[in-house]
Amino acid sequence: MTIALIAHDSKKELMVQFCTAYCRILSQNQLVATGTTGKLIAESTGLPVKRFLSGKQGGDQQIAARIACNEIDLLIFFRDPINAKPSEPNEMTLLRLCDVHNIPMATNIATAEVLIHGLERGDLDWRSIVNPPQA
Q: Tens place of pLDDT for every residue, the chain, 135 residues? A: 999 999 999 999 999 999 999 999 999 999 999 999 999 999 999 999 999 998 888 899 999 999 999 999 999 999 988 886 665 657 888 999 999 999 999 999 999 999 999 999 989 988 877 766 665
- The answer to whether residue 135 sits within a structural domain is no
CA dihedral in degrees (114, 132, 100, 78; nearest 10)?
40
Active-site positions read 60
Residue 52 contacts residue 33 (beta carbons within 8 Å):
yes
Report the number of distinct structural domains present in the chain. Answer: 1
Intra-chain end-to-end CA distance of the chain, in Å: 15
Axis crossing angle, helix 59-68 with helix 88-100, rounded to the nearest 10: 20
Give the pLDDT score at 132.
Answer: 67
Which alpha helices (DSSP H) does 4-125 contain, by range? 12-21, 23-26, 35-45, 59-68, 88-100, 109-121
Residue 109 lies in a domain: yes
Report DSSP state, residue 56.
Answer: G
Q: Could you tell me the CATH number of the domain that includes residue 100?
A: 3.40.50.1380
Tell if the pTM clears 0.75, that is, is over it: yes
The kind and range of the H/E element at 1 are none
Domain assignment of residue 50, given as a range: 2-79+89-125
What pLDDT, on the 0 to 100 scale, is given for residue 87? Answer: 57
Judge whether 13 lies within some domain. yes
- The rounded Cα 56 to chain-centroid distance in angstroms is 16
